């Protein structure tokens, strides 16, 4: 078995001996700041390696106990595998002991040891009273039933027993996933002369090796891991659970800060809207109102924002509660499903609660039961249910995008997709994008409904332009999805394309029932007078058709080749045009002049000139100065089409 890496956190009230105990366990003083030395309290996080003869390797985190430095405490315990709750024998449980215990519970810590320090200061009777007091305080928490260790850090009493206890408990703890995507929340940034920017943190997931190309989020700055150190020892690789310092190339110290996250893949994304399951603490001093201002602590990041409820207008905070809600943050953060967080009120300062991120890609939802049901599925749902919900929300996603939304490994997402494809619940495009079948049908129904209304009102037109159809739909659906849906609907015959227009597959342009007789009369009048037809405006004005229908009818007759535009003012029927062309061809030579046409057709110049220009347009004749040449092949082809 290879080495296993763990992180232990020490929590407890100020001056209860956390730093002294850390030194007794590791022989390292974690109070590294001058101010800490002078004040004899921990302000920043302290770290030290704890060595065992077995394959277990441990990083010990000494977190600040003072209330003013609670943010550092939260950052320190966010990624631990085992906690030691430190309580001094002479003072017992104190305010920060209780708050630290609350925070540990909210962060989902499941394993711990209660370490009673400074046992040399009390007699056996007082020590037993302290133990009973602590046992009462931890009743009902994750530490209920946890082992107790009694130590005197200065003399070393009980330290070896505590080490054995730690090793025994960790031997039963699964090591972190070193195979997944690398993620390290940054808690320290500094420069080393001659080397440049160095960041430090605990590797949450995955592994890293020298030379890896990484990305600092949320800035999205590409960097290279030049050198690695684990507890001041140079290493070529770092693994999940290890306290690691990384010398970064490609970024200045001013460009990176505590709270940023170092990642290896695009699986992680920045977000400012997250759906969460929030467990509140009992006895808040003040209610938390809808869209109330909050401070989020997640990993090493702390960000302000607002809380949005979907089933209430405020959180009373009288009793403990678990609610589904959303956090809308002032700045982007990096998180994923299952991450733990703490929520605090900025002013007056108090811890509201904590919980789990259930979707790092939250959307705007409506207030009500349907949203709560959606969030419950996100929290409790199967991978397949989560894939369905992601596609309901986002409509159209690739496999990598789906992975980000549901926060599952590729093989799990693919298994869900294959199941849904087999059940015909989703459709896969040629570019491996996915859409719910129900969403596709929904889009097609909307397009068909739009076209039905259009065909009803404009039955003479070929169809409606695609841009017009998409205009209202693109507000709710990605344009790429609309294009795909239209293309598939065309293949299925539900919709047809006519040039730049689209129409229902069952639709053919026709005279509207209400105006059929009047339109037929217009066609009859056009056909009545040969080429010397009356002006179009005069004919349609007598029909009393609405002006829009007059124009639609004109385009319809031309498009269906029932009539041709002789010029801007005159329309000639196809029957009369063919008759005149046939007569002219029969009675003229291959090359003829305008006067020849006039003698054959008996037309005035008003009609003859546009008639001859129409023949040129139809490519039946070619004009050469004053003469025209019949184009025999084009003439035969055109006449056969008629």
d(CA 511, CA 519): 7
Three-class secondary structure of residue 500 per DSSP: coil
Q: CB neighbours of 271 closer than 8 A, spacing ≥ 6?
A: 329, 332, 333, 334, 335, 360, 361, 362
Bridge partners for 192 per DSSP: 196
pLDDT top residue among 446 and 25: 446
DSSP-derived secondary structure for 67-83: GGGHHHHHHHHTT-SEE
**Dihedral angle sign, alpha carbons of residues 568, 569, 572, 573:** positive
Tokens (6 digits) for 171:
């031997």
Helices 369-380/383-394 angle, 10° precision: 140
- pLDDT of 36: 33
The pLDDT tens digits for 569-587 are 888 989 999 999 999 999 9
Give the three-class secondary structure for 586: helix
What whole-number distance in Å separates Cα of residue 172 and Cα of residue 175?
A: 9
Torsion sign, CA atoms 472, 477, 479, 483: negative
pLDDT at residue 66 tops 50: no
Task: List the domains of the chain with CATH numbers.
Answer: 4-170 (3.40.50.300), 183-263 (2.40.30.10), 270-373 (2.40.30.10), 381-510 (1.10.10.10), 520-641 (1.10.10.10)
pLDDT-wise least confident of 40-49, 321-330, 353-362, 544-553: 40-49
Q: Count CB neighbours of 264 within 10 A.
A: 20
278-305 b/e (C-beta count within 10 Å ≥ 16 → b): bbbbeebeeebeeebebbbbbbbbbbeb
Statement: residue 441 has pLDDT above 90: yes
Q: What is the largest CA-CA distance in the chain?
A: 136
Q: State how far the Cα of 205 lies from the Cα of 263, in Å rounded to an integer.
A: 9
The answer to whether 360 and 336 are in contact (CB under 8 A) is yes
Tell me how far apart the alpha carbons of residues 7 and 59 are, in angstroms, rounded to a whole number: 5
The pLDDT score that the predictor gives to residue 268 is 78
Could you write out the three-class secondary structure of 159-213?
HHHHHHHHHHHHCCCCCCCCCCCCEEECCEEEEECCCEEEEEEECCECEEECCCE
CB atoms within 10 A of CB 32: 14
Model pLDDT, residue 74: 64
Residue 17 has pLDDT above 80, yes or no: no
| Count of all residues that appear for the chain in the document | 642
- Looking at residue 2, its pLDDT comes to 57
SS3 call for 471: helix
pTM over 0.85? The answer is no
Tokens linked to 15:
């001056």
Residue 309 has pLDDT above 90, yes or no: yes
**pLDDT attached to residue 199:** 92
Which pLDDT band holds residue 35 (cuts at 50, 70, 90)?
A: very low
Burial 160-196 (b: 16+ CB within 10 A, else e): eebbebbeebbeeeebbebebbbbbbbbebeeeeeee
């Amino acid at each position: 078995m290879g080495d296993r890496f763990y992180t232990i956190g020490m929590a407890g009230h100020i001056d209860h001996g956390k730093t002294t105990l850390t030194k007794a366990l590791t022989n390292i003083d974690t109070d590294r700041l001058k101010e800490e030395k002078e004040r004899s309290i921990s302000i920043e996080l302290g770290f030290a390696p704890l060595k065992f003869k077995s394959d277990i390797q441990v990083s010990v985190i000494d977190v600040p106990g003072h209330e003013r430095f609670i943010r550092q405490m939260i950052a320190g315990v966010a990624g631990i595998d085992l906690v030691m709750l430190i309580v001094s024998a002479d003072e017992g449980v104190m305010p920060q002991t209780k708050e630290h215990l609350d925070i540990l519970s909210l962060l989902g810590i499941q394993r711990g040891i209660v370490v009673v320090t400074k046992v040399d200061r009390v007699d056996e009777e007082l020590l037993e009273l302290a133990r009973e007091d602590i046992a009462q305080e931890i009743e009902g928490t994750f530490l209920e039933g946890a082992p107790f260790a009694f130590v005197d850090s200065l003399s070393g009493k009980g330290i070896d027993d505590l080490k054995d206890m730690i090793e025994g408990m960790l031997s039963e703890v699964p090591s972190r996933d070193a195979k997944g995507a690398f993620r390290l929340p940054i808690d320290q940034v500094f420069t080393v002369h001659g080397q440049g920017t160095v960041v430090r943190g605990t590797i949450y997931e995955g592994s890293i090796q020298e030379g890896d190309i990484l990305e600092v989020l949320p800035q999205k700055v590409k960097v290279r891991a030049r050198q690695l150190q684990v507890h001041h020892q140079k290493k070529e690789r770092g693994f999940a659970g290890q306290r690691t310092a990384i010398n970064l190339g490609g970024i200045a110290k001013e460009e990176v800060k505590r709270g940023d996250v170092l990642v290896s893949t695009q699986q992680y994304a920045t977000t400012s809207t997250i759906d969460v399951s929030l467990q509140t603490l009992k006895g808040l001093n003040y209610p938390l109102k809808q869209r109330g201002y909050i401070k989020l602590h997640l990993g090493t990041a702390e960000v302000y924002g607002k809380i949005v409820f979907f089933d209430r207008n405020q959180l009373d905070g009288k009793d403990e509660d678990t609610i589904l809600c959303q956090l809308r943050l002032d700045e982007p953060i990096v998180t994923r499903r299952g991450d733990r967080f703490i929520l605090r009120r900025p002013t007056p300062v108090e811890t509201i609660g904590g919980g789990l991120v259930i979707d790092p890609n939250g959307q705007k939802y409506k207030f009500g039961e349907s949203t709560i049901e959606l969030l419950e599925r996100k929290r409790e749902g199967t991978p397949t249910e989560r894939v369905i919900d992601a596609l309901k929300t986002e409509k159209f996603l690739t496999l990598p995008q789906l992975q980000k939304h549901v926060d599952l490994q590729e093989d799990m997402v693919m298994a869900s997709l294959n199941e849904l494809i087999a059940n015909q619940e989703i459709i896969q495009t040629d570019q491996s994008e996915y859409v719910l079948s129900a969403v596709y049908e929904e889009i097609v129904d909307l397009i068909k409904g739009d076209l039905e209304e259009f065909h009803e009102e404009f039955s003479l037109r070929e169809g409606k332009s695609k841009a017009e159809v998409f205009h209202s739909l693109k507000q709710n659906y990605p344009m790429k999805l609309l294009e795909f849906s239209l293309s598939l609907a065309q293949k299925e015959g539900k919709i047809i394309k006519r040039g730049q227009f689209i129409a229902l597959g069952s639709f053919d342009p026709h005279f509207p029932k209400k105006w059929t007789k009047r339109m037929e009369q217009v066609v009859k009048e056009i056909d009545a007078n040969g080429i010397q037809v009356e002006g179009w405006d005069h004919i349609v004005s007598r029909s009393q058709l609405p002006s829009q229908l007059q124009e639609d009818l004109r385009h319809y007759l031309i498009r269906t080749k029932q009539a041709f535009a002789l010029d801007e003012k005159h329309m000639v029927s196809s029957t009369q045009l063919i008759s005149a062309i046939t007569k002219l061809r029969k009675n003229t030579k291959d090359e003829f002049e305008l006067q020849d046409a006039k003698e054959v057709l008996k037309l005035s110049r008003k009609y003859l000139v546009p008639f001859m220009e129409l023949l040129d347009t139809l490519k039946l004749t070619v004009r050469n100065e004053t003469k025209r040449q019949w184009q025999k092949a084009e003439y035969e082809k055109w006449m056969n089409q008629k």
